[in-house]
Amino acid sequence: MNGAESLVRTLLAGDVDVCFTNPGTSEMHFVAALDQVPGMRCILGLFEGVVTGAADGYYRMARKPASTLLHLGPGLGNGLANLHNAKKAGSGVVNIVGEHATYHVALDAPLTSDIEGIARPVSNWVKTSPSAMEVAGDGAAAIAAALEPPGRVATLILPADTAWNAANGIAETPPPVPPPAVASEAVDKAAEALRASDKALIVLGGEALWEEGLDLAGRIAARAGCDLIAEWSNARLERGAGRVSVARIPYPVDQALKVLEGYDTMVLIGSREPIAFFAYPDKPSRLVPEGCAVVELAGPADDIKGALEALLDALGVRDAAPAAVAEADRPAIPSGPAGHAGIAAVLGALLPENAIVVDESITTGRSFAPVTAGAPPHVWMNNLGGSIGYGLPVAIGAAVACPDRKVIALEGDGSAMYTVQGLWTMARENLDVTVLVFANRSYQILRGELTAVGVQNPGPRAVDMLSLSRPDLSWVEMAKGMGVEACKVDECEALARAFEAGLASDGPYLIEVVL
């Protein structure tokens, strides 16, 4: 058994049985091992951002890491942005990054680079395996690192000779360490703060936004008479009819300040203190109102469900009925041009039960939440790292993790372009993903930001830098070029028919929604 085979077998023994890949020469022994050892599902991406984003989406639904296979430093670099997003989302990923043979590195060949240096900013754990004998152990350590709560990015660098030399065998992955329980003092403090305030807000994040967590939070809110809210970006928000409904803190700073205004107590459960996405010259970076006390009960890596249960017990209301449960409610399909409200209504009217919505709709999607709140139960995913191009890849990973559920990717045209190669992987794997691309032909969010910095009448240079027109992109042609069925619509009823066609399909289907 060579190092590559010992690593593949170690991954499989550690329950890592999906590999999103974009290999190169230095990874050929690993590819040969994947070919010879049964059990690993290998999924090719034609660009590494697809590979790493898919691993993020996979973890969010499967709750176990996938592996990636990347080609030296530049291949890792191509996957960097979506590893950044995965790290911020708390998604566990095991990256296998090929490297030159140990003795070849000093020659500074064309592809030689500081791989550890590239990996570190987007990884919680980095190691270059020193020998074939140690590769299996390093692989097991990488899996263990990826499983640390809430999920971490682990990057194992695999010099070619550690793959081809003789190895020792398989290493066993230690059982995952559970998330740490919150201290009872913190629970008491949070309970006391909620009791003392009649204008308190609980900010929920992480597992607090899964169905069970929301149910517990809803009971707490009912008893304490406080409000619930979710962070702006969430890895996995379980929502829809019958579930406790929480709004998200708005992205625009002024709107966020308004929503948070007047609270004197804020309790954080699985979340972090609200801050602005970006700084602006004349706006605050911290969004907590002046004089509002902030009590952290549980951070994103803590035992969030345990914290909710303990808080509920401390308040003495285990069997209270939860507050803010969403009633089943669907809007009618509207007619007329497909504007933001119309698109929202079509989504609300047709969203299928158990759908997984991957939301990278940027400006177009800001009004989607209220009108979809009463749709059948579904999952809603956001980008936690802010680097656009996460949507198509995360949809791939979610679809691989949950083959029986419909995945719906909501994409801005600007953001979808960054990892447009993902469409091909959807076609190759016949993934059950319906993609809606909202074609406003611009980086619309930046048009607003440019106005915000004082440019009222931008000239042609600025307009050209923020616009995707001249020429317009044809999403239908690009999708067909990558083997994905596609159509174009510009009004609501046609959108509804197209969406129904996508939902009826078993494979990928793209709808270009011209705004």
Q: Taking CB under 8 A as the criterion, which residues in 146-165 touch its own copies?
A: 160-161, 164
Closest contact distance (angstroms) between CB of 256 and its own copies is: 13
Tokens 């605050």 belong to residue: 284
The binding track of 409-438 with respect to its own copies, each residue x by CB under 8 A or -, is -----x--xx-xx--x--xx----------
CB 157 within 8 A of CB 116: yes
Q: Which residues of 231-259 are buried (b: 16+ CB within 10 A; e: fewer)?
A: bbbbbbbbbbbebbbbebbbbbbeebbeb
Closest contact distance (angstroms) between CB of 71 and its own copies is: 8
Q: If binding is defined by CB under 8 A, does position 213 make contact with its own copies?
A: no
Q: 390: phi > 0 → left, psi -120 to 50 → alpha, else beta; which?
A: alpha
In this complex, which beta carbon is closest to its own copies, that of residue 101 or of residue 494? 101
Q: If binding is defined by CB under 8 A, does position 234 make contact with its own copies?
A: no
Q: If binding is defined by CB under 8 A, does position 80 make contact with its own copies?
A: yes
CA-to-CA separations, 128 to 15, 16, 137, 291, 483, in angstroms, rounded: 22, 20, 12, 49, 38
Q: If binding is defined by CB under 8 A, does position 276 make contact with its own copies?
A: yes
| Candidates 68-76, 170-178, 234-242, 303-311; binding stretch for its own copies (CB under 8 A) | 68-76
CA-to-CA separations, 47 to 51, 53, 334, 502, in angstroms, rounded: 7, 11, 38, 25
Closest contact distance (angstroms) between CB of 414 and its own copies is: 7
In this complex, which beta carbon is closest to its own copies, that of residue 372 or of residue 467? 467
Ranges within 375-414 binding its own copies (CB under 8 A): 383-387, 389, 414
Tokens at 124, concatenated: 């919680």
Q: Which amino acid, 449?
A: E
Residue 449 CB burial class (10 angstroms; 0-12, 13-18, ≥19): middle
**Local structure of residue 421 (DSSP, 8 states):** T
Closest contact distance (angstroms) between CB of 299 and its own copies is: 12
Ranges within 38-57 binding its own copies (CB under 8 A): 40, 42, 44, 46-47, 49
* 293 bridge partner residues: 265
| Candidates 102-110, 201-209, 293-301, 353-361; binding stretch for its own copies (CB under 8 A) | 102-110
Q: If binding is defined by CB under 8 A, does position 266 make contact with its own copies?
A: no
Q: How are beta strands 378-381 and 237-239 bridged, if at all? A: antiparallel
Q: If binding is defined by CB under 8 A, does position 29 make contact with its own copies?
A: yes
Q: If binding is defined by CB under 8 A, does position 1 make contact with its own copies?
A: no
The binding track of 339-378 with respect to its own copies, each residue x by CB under 8 A or -, is ----------------------------------------
Kindly tell me which residue out of 1, 12, 63, 74 binds its own copies, with binding defined by CB under 8 A.
74
Kindly tell me which residue out of 15, 35, 353, 506 binds its own copies, with binding defined by CB under 8 A.
35
Alpha helices in 386-474 (DSSP H): 391-401, 413-418, 422-428, 444-452, 460-466
How many residues comprise the chain?
A: 515
The neighbour count for residue 39, using CB atoms within 10 Å, is 11
Q: If binding is defined by CB under 8 A, does position 511 make contact with its own copies?
A: no
Closest contact distance (angstroms) between CB of 478 and its own copies is: 4
Closest contact distance (angstroms) between CB of 325 and its own copies is: 30
Kindly tell me which residue out of 177, 183, 196, 279 binds its own copies, with binding defined by CB under 8 A.
279
CA-to-CA separations, 426 to 16, 21, 47, 48, 423, in angstroms, rounded: 21, 14, 13, 15, 5
Closest contact distance (angstroms) between CB of 321 and its own copies is: 35
Q: If binding is defined by CB under 8 A, does position 85 make contact with its own copies?
A: yes
Starting at the earlier edge strand, list the strands of the sheet with 265-269.
227-230, 200-204, 265-269, 293-298
Q: If binding is defined by CB under 8 A, does position 78 make contact with its own copies?
A: yes
Q: If binding is defined by CB under 8 A, does position 205 make contact with its own copies?
A: no
Q: If binding is defined by CB under 8 A, does position 509 make contact with its own copies?
A: no
Q: If binding is defined by CB under 8 A, does position 254 make contact with its own copies?
A: no
| Candidates 98-106, 196-204, 325-333, 339-347; binding stretch for its own copies (CB under 8 A) | 98-106
Kindly tell me which residue out of 18, 122, 190, 326 binds its own copies, with binding defined by CB under 8 A.
122
Residue 506 CB burial class (10 angstroms; 0-12, 13-18, ≥19): exposed
Q: If binding is defined by CB under 8 A, does position 20 make contact with its own copies?
A: no
Q: If binding is defined by CB under 8 A, does position 476 make contact with its own copies?
A: yes
CA-to-CA separations, 73 to 19, 112, 347, 355, in angstroms, rounded: 18, 7, 41, 36
Tokens at 121, concatenated: 């900013």
CA nearest neighbour of 151 among 230, 64, 213, 228:
64
Kindly tell me which residue out of 15, 25, 130, 329 binds its own copies, with binding defined by CB under 8 A.
25
Number of residues this chain uses to bind its own copies (CB under 8 A): 102
Q: If binding is defined by CB under 8 A, does position 117 make contact with its own copies?
A: yes
Q: If binding is defined by CB under 8 A, does position 121 make contact with its own copies?
A: yes
Q: If binding is defined by CB under 8 A, does position 258 make contact with its own copies?
A: no
CB 431 within 8 A of CB 61: no
Alpha helices in 64-183 (DSSP H): 72-78, 80-89, 115-119, 132-146, 160-164
| Candidates 72-80, 132-140, 176-184, 239-247; binding stretch for its own copies (CB under 8 A) | 72-80
| Candidates 30-38, 201-209, 220-228, 354-362; binding stretch for its own copies (CB under 8 A) | 30-38
**Local structure of residue 504 (DSSP, 8 states):** H
Cis upstream peptide for 471 (omega within 30°) = yes
